[in-house]
Structure 1
């Protein structure tokens, strides 16, 4: 069943949205035909449609047949071209929507065709720039409606809309075979009016670009549709020019509806990007993975001491967090945030995840050059300098720093991959020093990162809590998936962190994250449990959980950050790269595509 959220006003459920993307930015269109979120020309640009985080007055674009009901919607195979079929009391219509890819423009195309009888199309365009804060100056230039404020200009071409009450509305009757098409284009306000889009050519080019990439992807038969769509989502969240991969195209969709756990995910986390690289490599995406490496090298180039956990789409370093107090937030979840304060955190695991990904890139035949390997050596120097420093952990705790076991394991992995690069690929570096730190960390983790009363890894030293990040320990190669330490850890996680059979990131009641409220199970963590089950001989459990999780995708195969099983609702930023890449890994573990890392010894 679907839940209609009603915290003072009706809000569209997250899984009612479809993603439109052009490899530079994205838009979300509801099942009811309203584009409630769109940032142009980049993922992290200020939104022009922001009703997702407020009301229609904060900007939206509605196109829907009057009195209509959606009877089907789907993407064209291998693309993000969306087709929605509507039925009304007098006829049927099909809406085709897409963001043209590959032409260097920033457009959104919405085309309505009456396929039977007659239909009346209702349109309402409310342009509100700067996240709904600014009403632009709108006027007509020839056949185009233009709206300008500050540096931004939006141009609408198509059947005429009437101005009134600071919006533009229209009703257009179509008979069978008739079509109405609107194109909204962004440009700089000081630039010439953009020329009209060649719609037919743009659609052909967009299909070709998506399908060329999709055709190169190799997937196994089991869960093939979910894996293929997930890989397409990862591609859609990748900026074609820079190679940066954003965690999600949205900001401030809450982890705790009505609460403060609302974050801006429109940036490129090194960790998320590294894990995405691994998934792409496993499915024939070596070119995309190499582009990510190039983005990484540019982003982190400079003094190793300045390494950040995340960057802007183009490698920008300044992502200062601030709130948009004019927006009430999705489900009245305030504050709405732009920027992300976690950019200033020290998260000790990040170098390890990057080193693991780059090691897999080497193993796939992508050679190091005189830039990439020295940068990896510099990252290891950075890690050495902070060996004794506590950190905020994988989950970006906003409380006090700790020695997180997962972070210490990933530091171990960083040195381990450095040693292996020298031993297996003939690269140069401080092998003996790296090996010494690797062995030192291993001894420390086994002494302080394990709870002697349970034989399980623990979240931080000196306490008994577990968190879901511990499921990544076997993924690093620190121990095998079936090592007694991992099996005990899984048992503890099953006891402490399962809610409705799904995995929480951690127990928020522990107070480590420094935030009020709680949250729902994190989708990626449950997929990690699938992987752990599959790789440790619990195939029946893995398959059952995998089938359930894949069933959480919406009708278009999209997943948010979290899931509320009690109401069958997706929660959090959407769609979420972390969820989709974890789906791919889990499927790979179950189908035999995933190769476990080599572990030299068991823990005991």
Structure 2
């Protein structure tokens, strides 16, 4: 990597899709460059973002040279379209993670759907699907079925299934090209079979997913100024809540460098209490409520299971041990390593988290839609936070900058301890 490359303002050439169970990154070349299954903090299935050789890939490449690519979202949704244009043909790949209401609850499976659609000419494509396991250390063996391929590894119990109406034999020949004269579909699932009619089901899921996201946005209170940017930001933030527990991850990726060659490459696939406050505040300002209620239950569960010190961050299931490891065999993003999994910051003392957690949930305590007196976990949690603030007010900590092996008194920490006490006072004034 030369100096000119390092000095340029960097942008990631990809979009994201998700359904509050997982997030996938889709490159401008149609490659799925990042996907962790079965959850945000598990191993990647596709991770070419961090290593093009060991990371696997899922790409729909053109036989002819590409002259133009476009990537955009279907309006007010998390459904992503990537267009590939050559001199004689063009095709569009529509990627989405199904999410919609069904039988009184949200349908959000570990399923990634890809639709290949010819736009003009006669597109000729090569589809390569090479998932990997255990952060690229283990290969998944492909087994041919009638209309699917099962990728598995008995050592780790990983089972990924690709169901498609494309010729299965082409997936076992690297240089096999397929003519796309009509819409074709690929459905990737984790440890589950896809046994429905593929075209009809994919179109049904696509319509329902678009409708879900557009209804969600319609229920938001969006200001007229910068409306497009606010809508896109809201949709992205929503994807970062792991709906099963209410945890909000800081990012869906690990080890993207703060600056090339700096070594400051961290795993952010966890829930920082401080960062969650800002996400919840943003969503509350546009009228979204259930994300905060889910997060309240997540935090209450953590303090109930672990009545000791509140950590700066937790796993999405509330797990406290997030031991940090370096994976030296992975080259890193644009060969700027190291690649880390886990985050040693879970061991830090950061005493601002008590106040951050309290003010993050203050709207719940003062919102008439939240029946606080019926939720004893939350009431007990308020007392827990106040006791911790009292016990740590004079204590040195790592501060917001997460200094490693260096503790000091930080005004920032004391400020938010005071803010947390004030929030508790407001709660007491309203709820007694």
- Deviations 1:65-114 (CA, angstroms, capped at 9, x unpaired): 33233443211112111112222111221211112224342111111111
CA distance in structure 2 between the aligned counterparts of 1:109 and 1:134, rounded to whole angstroms: 24
CA distance in structure 1 between the aligned counterparts of 2:408 and 2:422, rounded to whole angstroms: 23
RMSD, matched Cα: 2.2
**Which residue does the alignment assign to 1:105?**
109
CA distance in structure 2 between the aligned counterparts of 1:323 and 1:285, rounded to whole angstroms: 38
SS at match of 1:41: coil
CA distance in structure 2 between the aligned counterparts of 1:233 and 1:280, rounded to whole angstroms: 11
Q: Does 1:375 align with 2:373?
A: no
CA distance in structure 2 between the aligned counterparts of 1:6 and 1:356, rounded to whole angstroms: 39
Superposed, 1:205-224 pairs within 5 Å as 205-224=208-227
**Which residue does the alignment assign to 2:81?**
83
Q: Is the 1:56–1:126 contact (alpha carbons within 8 Å) kept by the matching residues of 2?
A: no
**Which residue does the alignment assign to 1:511?**
none
Q: Is the 2:93–2:114 contact (alpha carbons within 8 Å) kept by the matching residues of 1?
A: yes
Q: Is the 1:124–1:170 contact (alpha carbons within 8 Å) kept by the matching residues of 2?
A: no
Aligned partner (choices 240, 244, 254) of residue 243 of structure 2: 240
**How far off its partner does 1:282 sit?**
1.1
**Which residue does the alignment assign to 1:185?**
189
CA distance in structure 2 between the aligned counterparts of 1:221 and 1:371, rounded to whole angstroms: 39
**Which residue does the alignment assign to 2:70?**
72
Q: Is the 2:29–2:69 contact (alpha carbons within 8 Å) kept by the matching residues of 1?
A: no
Length-normalised TM-score, structure 1: 0.65
**Which residue does the alignment assign to 2:391?**
385
Q: Is the 1:122–1:170 contact (alpha carbons within 8 Å) kept by the matching residues of 2?
A: yes
Aligned partner (choices 16, 20, 23) of residue 26 of structure 1: 23
* Cα separation, partners in 2 of 1:356 and 1:214, compared to 1, 3 Å: same
Please state which structure has a larger fraction of its residues in helix.
1
Q: Is the 1:355–1:414 contact (alpha carbons within 8 Å) kept by the matching residues of 2?
A: yes
Superposed, 1:511-550 pairs within 5 Å as none
Q: Is the 2:170–2:177 contact (alpha carbons within 8 Å) kept by the matching residues of 1?
A: no
* Cα separation, partners in 2 of 1:127 and 1:426, compared to 1, 3 Å: closer
Bigger Rg over Cα? 1
CA distance in structure 2 between the aligned counterparts of 1:283 and 1:311, rounded to whole angstroms: 26
**Which residue does the alignment assign to 1:35?**
32
**Which residue does the alignment assign to 1:473?**
none
SS at match of 1:278: helix
CA distance in structure 1 between the aligned counterparts of 2:140 and 2:223, rounded to whole angstroms: 49
Q: Does 1:259 align with 2:255?
A: no
**Which residue does the alignment assign to 1:281?**
284
SS at match of 2:328: coil
CA distance in structure 1 between the aligned counterparts of 2:336 and 2:404, rounded to whole angstroms: 18
Superposed, 1:400-439 pairs within 5 Å as 400-422=406-428, 424-427=429-432
**How far off its partner does 1:193 sit?**
4.0
Q: Is the 1:310–1:343 contact (alpha carbons within 8 Å) kept by the matching residues of 2?
A: yes
CA distance in structure 2 between the aligned counterparts of 1:91 and 1:4, rounded to whole angstroms: 35
SS at match of 2:242: coil
Aligned residues: 411
CA distance in structure 2 between the aligned counterparts of 1:27 and 1:310, rounded to whole angstroms: 23
SS at match of 1:48: strand
CA distance in structure 1 between the aligned counterparts of 2:304 and 2:177, rounded to whole angstroms: 54
CA distance in structure 2 between the aligned counterparts of 1:140 and 1:382, rounded to whole angstroms: 57
**Which residue does the alignment assign to 2:363?**
360
SS at match of 2:308: helix
Q: Is the 2:326–2:339 contact (alpha carbons within 8 Å) kept by the matching residues of 1?
A: yes
* Cα separation, partners in 2 of 1:382 and 1:168, compared to 1, 3 Å: farther
Gaps in structure 2 of 5+ consecutive residues: 100-105
* Cα separation, partners in 2 of 1:61 and 1:351, compared to 1, 3 Å: same
Aligned partner (choices 396, 401, 406) of residue 402 of structure 2: 396
CA distance in structure 2 between the aligned counterparts of 1:29 and 1:306, rounded to whole angstroms: 39
Length-normalised TM-score, structure 2: 0.89
**Which residue does the alignment assign to 1:62?**
59
* Cα separation, partners in 2 of 1:20 and 1:168, compared to 1, 3 Å: farther
CA distance in structure 2 between the aligned counterparts of 1:349 and 1:313, rounded to whole angstroms: 21
CA distance in structure 2 between the aligned counterparts of 1:262 and 1:238, rounded to whole angstroms: 22
Q: Is the 1:155–1:186 contact (alpha carbons within 8 Å) kept by the matching residues of 2?
A: yes
Q: Is the 1:263–1:337 contact (alpha carbons within 8 Å) kept by the matching residues of 2?
A: yes
CA distance in structure 2 between the aligned counterparts of 1:84 and 1:330, rounded to whole angstroms: 22
* Cα separation, partners in 2 of 1:173 and 1:304, compared to 1, 3 Å: same
* Cα separation, partners in 2 of 1:123 and 1:78, compared to 1, 3 Å: same
* Cα separation, partners in 2 of 1:104 and 1:303, compared to 1, 3 Å: closer
